Amino acid sequence: AQTVTQSQPEMSVQEAETVTLSCTYDTSESNYYLFWYKQPPSRQMILVIRQEAYKQQNATENRFSVNFQKAAKPFSLKISDSQLGDTAMYFCAFKGIQGAQKLVFGQGTRLTINP
């Protein structure tokens, strides 16, 4: 079974700083997808970024980028020029392409951006 681990329960940084959230996963599948989701306080969870395992290039969406190394299996999220609106719970998630294709989530990291 796939497992996803986020070992940082909480982080805080100052506005405009760069912050990196860590995630590791374990799977025997050769092809899969990885996601970072964001859950702002009292608001709905939204997708931040997606990485396809068969792509060599790390995904980037504006200020958000990932560090993906398929062999070593870390999957970190880097937020550049952090903003107050980035304050949220962040969840890393895995989805295989075999079987039920369900999302497996990590425990979450609560990120606070301080003014």
Partner 1 sequence: DVKVTQSSRYLVKRTGEKVFLECVQDMDHENMFWYRQDPGLGLRLIYFSYDVKMKEKGDIPEGYSVSREKKERFSLILESASTNQTSMYLCASRAPGGARDEQFFGPGTRLTVL
| Site for partner 1 contains 9 (CB under 8 A) | yes
Tokens describing residue 7 = 């070992």
Residue 49 CA to chain centroid, in angstroms?
7
Site for partner 1 in 57-86 (CB under 8 A): none
| Site for partner 1 contains 96 (CB under 8 A) | no
**Are residues 74 and 23 in contact, defined by beta-carbon separation less than 8 angstroms?**
yes
| Site for partner 1 contains 8 (CB under 8 A) | no
> Hey, is 85 helix, strand or coil?
helix
Residues that bind partner 1 (CB under 8 A): 4, 6, 9, 33, 43-47, 50, 91, 95, 100, 102-103, 105-108
